[in-house]
Amino acid sequence: MFGHTFMSGLRRADQAYSGIVEYITAQHLCAGDRLPSEVRLTELFDVSRAIVREALVRLAADGITESRRGAGSYVKHTPSDRMIEKARTGKLSATLGTYEVRFVIEAEAARLAAHRRSIQDMLDIDTALETLRAALTSGRPAHVEDMDLHRHIIVATANPAFLAAFDALSDDVDWTMSAGVDISRTRSPVVIEAMMREHEAIVDAIRAEDGDRASLSMRWHLSEGRKRLMPAR
């Protein structure tokens, strides 16, 4: 049973989400393996079928499972062992869920930054990019520098509401950035190089005042960032 995952103060769907991730890990399931039926999951976690379905929808959105019509749910990507180790107990669903919000906030922020950034904003963004490059290539923690670059892009929108929304997510964003860099460093150096190229593409588009490209580059970067929390493909 995996009931010990269920703690007070957490939404039942978040608890079920964490319980299913724990089940995948404990049972050593791999990509392509079938999860227990919804009925069996309700028994395992002592929740309603509606709660299980909500958890499975979130797991699918985060790329961990996939639903096959008439055949149930299957593992799509198993979460990285390091991600599980670093995860705050029971908070995995909420933390990964911030990516969905970031797709909305940061993609539009990059678009606006490309059109509104001042000369000083561009200098700050360029400086933050080079500081991030130095941190990533040195092998030291780089999540503070990563956060700083993203925040400068937000500031360049000249709209304080974007900054307030981004800062509200700061704890979870900081966790995913820290975990992403840590996990990526256990893999081939090309993973860190790809991360750097993604940031460069965003900054290049902002410099060129190309809002559409800046937005698409940010969405691509966030999508790849979420994937980096899973095992190497």
pLDDT tens per residue, range 39-73: 999 999 889 999 999 999 988 888 889 988 888 89
Residue 16 has pLDDT above 90, yes or no: no
Average per-residue pLDDT for the chain? 87
CATH number where 26 lies: 1.10.10.10
Give a three-class secondary structure readout of 158-186.
CCHHHHHHHHHCHHHHHHHHHHHHHHHCC
Question: 125 and 200 in contact (C-beta within 8 Å)?
Answer: no
- Token pair belonging to 74: 């299957």
pLDDT tens per residue, range 92-128: 777 778 888 999 999 999 999 999 999 999 999 999 9
Q: How many domains does the chain contain in total?
A: 2
Question: Is 183 contained in some domain?
Answer: yes
Final residue belonging to a domain, choices 78, 100, 131: 78
Find all residues with CB under 8 Å of 190, minimum gap 6, and list them. Answer: none
pTM for this prediction: 0.76
pLDDT grade, residue 208 (50/70/90)? very high
Residue 76 backbone dihedrals phi, psi, to 5 degrees: -100, -50
- Token pair belonging to 4: 């010990």
- Do 49 and 134 share a domain, yes or no? no
